Structure 1
Amino acid sequence: MTSSQAAALLTGLAVVIVAAGLLGQLARRFGQPPVIGEILAGILLGPTLFGGALSHALLPTDIRPFLAALAEVGVAVFMFLVGLEFDRTLVRGTGRIAASVSLASLLLPCGLGMALGAYLLRGHPSDNHTGFVLFMGAAMSITAFPALARILTDRDMHRTPLGALALCCAAVADVLAWSLLAVVVAIVAPGGHPERALLFLPYLLLMCYPVRWLLGRLLARPAVAAQPTAVLLATVFAGLLLSGAATEWMGLHFIFGAFLFGAVVPRAGSERLRADLHERVGLVNNVLLLPVFFLVAGLQVDLSGLGWSDLGQLALILLVATGGKLVGAYAGAFAVGLDRRISSALAVLMNTRGLTELIILSVGRQLGILDERLYSLMVVMALLTTAMTGPLLEAVYPRRLALRATADDMTRRRRERVAVGDSAAGAK
């Protein structure tokens, strides 16, 4: 890195912090997650306004790879912190529910997305029709796990049964969607290694047992539990980065590895470590690194040349994306006994996109599957589906009810609905 690049990078980071912070706070004032404002900051700094002159002046092209690298580190740290706070006891006994919601919220939007992809081929020709259709199915079936976690955290719902169940469903659905993406990459870029995804299950077992046991032994030391040392913090950071690298190598993206490493850290004995990580690392990550990712993604969007036909395609994309997720997730939750209110809340949460959607869209852009116009339309879809999550969730399941609910309440209401259904069936 040259001296001029270093100066431009530091200046660019300052611009990112100010722009993302201001628009993030503005979004929060309107009841939206800060990610909405942060992505909008990237779009406003990108080629949409003034033909990209503003972005080239403030964020020269030669420093953007450095910004992208910082952004990925920020996302990895954020996902680790989300996994660190993931309370596995909240989803005990909900495996059937999570499986049903995950599969239904994946299969329906995926099928509708592939049908939409076949239609969009008319206006967005692709050299690989099969890859394009499969990619649209994967893109429509994504739930933005990090954006969902951030929405739940902002609403103090991440430790509630509904929040934990939504995170579990989103994690399962996203792993399946990323597996489909690995197939797409194999079709479009034959040089890939989709067979590596088969190693995820052995890797999951390795993390949940030997690695978790070793971390438990390390945290059980009295001196470590009382005051986390620099060596422990270095070990934790190395672990999350290596875990992210492992899942990235498997083709499942590094965010899952980072989250998984945080999730396997034993809760017993790690109270001080959690507090230190959130107080020191979490604040810096949220203020400095994480907004960079949303900004870098927004810089690739150009809305200046969209016409009426593009707006018609956007409406169709929104209909398929939102309808597929809402109907699929609701049907999956209601089918296993959850009542209408909780099923509706889960459906709304599963419709959240954002970070993960931007990641998969960037993959499509890099592979040449998406042209600039379709990429921009899909980013707008990700923004709008994320923006509608808060208002819809408050309408179907107000925060005061979610915060008062317990896992026993959810299970009891499920049993009551199933019992009523069985009684009705017996009467017939």
Structure 2
Amino acid sequence: MAGWVTENLIPFEAGLFLETMANLGVTFYMFLVGLEMDLTPLRKIERTALTVAIAGIVLPVAVGVGVHTIVLKLRENIDVPEMGAYFWSIALSHTSFPDLARILSDPEAHELYVAIPVLLCMTIFWFSLRPFIRKVVRHISVAEKEKPASDKHLHFILSLVFLSGFITELCGAHSFFGAFMFGLMIPGGELGTNIKNKNSSVMVFLVILVAISAKIVGALLVCLFFKSPMRDGLALGLLMNTKGVLAVIIINEGRNMKGFDQQTYSWIVVAILLMTVIIGPVVSYTHRSARHLRSYNEMHLERSKPDTPLRVLACVHSTRNLSGLISLLQISNVTRKSPITVFAVHLVELAGRTSAMLIFHDKNKTIDTGNNCSREKAEAEQIVSAFESFENENHGATVRPLTAVSPYASMHEDVNNFALDRFANIILIPFHKQPDTSGGWTAENLQHELVNQNLLQTSPCSIGLLVDRGLTCFPESQKGTPECRVSMLFVEGPDDREALAYAWRMAGSPNLMLTLVRFVPGKEVSEFFESDDEQEIFPDRFERERQKQLDDDYINVFRSRTMHDQSITYIEKQVSSGDQIVSALSSAYNDFDLYVVGRGHDRTSPLTSGLSNWSEFPELGPLGETLVLMDLESPASVLIVQQSCPESSGSKKTKTSDQNLLS
């Protein structure tokens, strides 16, 4: 059979042509790898990163030589040149960063639609293929009269292994599920023994274990030396084990040069595959599981005191966003007793490269964003300079400027990951439109709207969207009167409580007047807003009552602790519809510099349900959009606050009680 295939399907001339084209493909692939590389960050590499990189190369090289030597000693009857150690070393020290980026940006899915076809496929295998395999085994035993199975039988069995893995791969699961199930179907006996003898399990296990451990041990030792968390060192070592096409090319070239035989080549390829396969699930479990994100529920502003240290991730697209964001930070009560750490992130679209970059700026060095455009460089310097001035003017502020260069489609992932790494309490983002001279709005970049929407859907912490209409920080008045008027409009829900928590923090700023307006629904509103589905009436009513109790508790705590503060005013306004809210805002509450409201995402309030029917900017929420589009007495900026949702943090929200509020 093999001879017929060689003569008719793949003759010598065709094989030579395919080999030539394969070499050309490898040549152009290496050209693309070099094209994607950016050597600019190497000039600013830190000592820790440099040490990890050196350890990730030196130790795997030594391990590669050692493993190759062990294999030679255990297989004394095999004549293998010692130059195979070079190929082992290069393959083990190599890390495929394009494949690593894809693993980190596309974590494995665990949806039910993947499990169902896999289970169905395995059931069919068990009841249809297993009897067939048993018949084949009995046929082999009778035909060869208890003689060892020939190579053709073993090749047939191994071909079915690949077929099983291919089928489960089509179902959406990994191929090793199919291979494992197929192994269970092989009955015990001489056939199984012969298969195991052809593949030395001890040797394969030794090669894989030592190969995987090389980079892990190196990264772990370096991280422990620099007093980094052990968990991060293990994850870094696993990530550096990512192998790609280049590693296979190196090993294949070593086999072509007779550096090692076919069986040794198979061991190395299996080790490379396993090293790459286990990275996704392990890192996803250790760094993306819910148990490492549950602490974010405790970092909500609602659950902290107004003067606790605040960690803010401020996102800036251009210099147009600077004035409003910095003014908002300046009225956020920046003192030594209530310090603020600001991570000022300049978001830049990735162009000309396929690998995103995160650049930390040294205050004493010239900024280099890796782009030759002088305009972008000048804009980055202006942004950093503005935040440094904010730090110099406020003794309780600490600023960490950086630039994130990534595609707009995945920019939110970089922001979220950095917020997780720096334990940010809130992310501040600018609205994608800017006010024009005629009182309307002009879009700065429509892609910024996409970034904002993605952040609101996936943010692991609270997020504030600022619609800036000339918010400025006012100097202290000589007459001693407040110069900045802020109104917090409270309706209901966790977003409103988070917004009130941020406004409460602002109230500590000098010369700032805070007015809290709580809109309370009348009795007829709750009766009218019952669900039509009888099965949902009681759960909805219970949830609404629970949220109302949480709102009342938080408002009561706020009032009891600010009753003697002359700069804070509390107003309770009973309304029955969104139109009455608009009317109240137009007549009585239309003269403020800044409005702070909750977005109210994933909630339908009877008071604002009518406002959302004509929504043009859903990211603002019904009340926030109403304020932005209303013709108020004076143009006011609006801060829309959203508390992190349970879907983004990977955990369920726990019930808040007055015992843990502001404890």
TM-score, normalised relative to structure 2: 0.28
- Structure having the larger proportion of residues in helix: 1
Larger radius of gyration: 2
Higher RCO, 1 or 2 (CA under 8 Å, sep at least 6)? 1
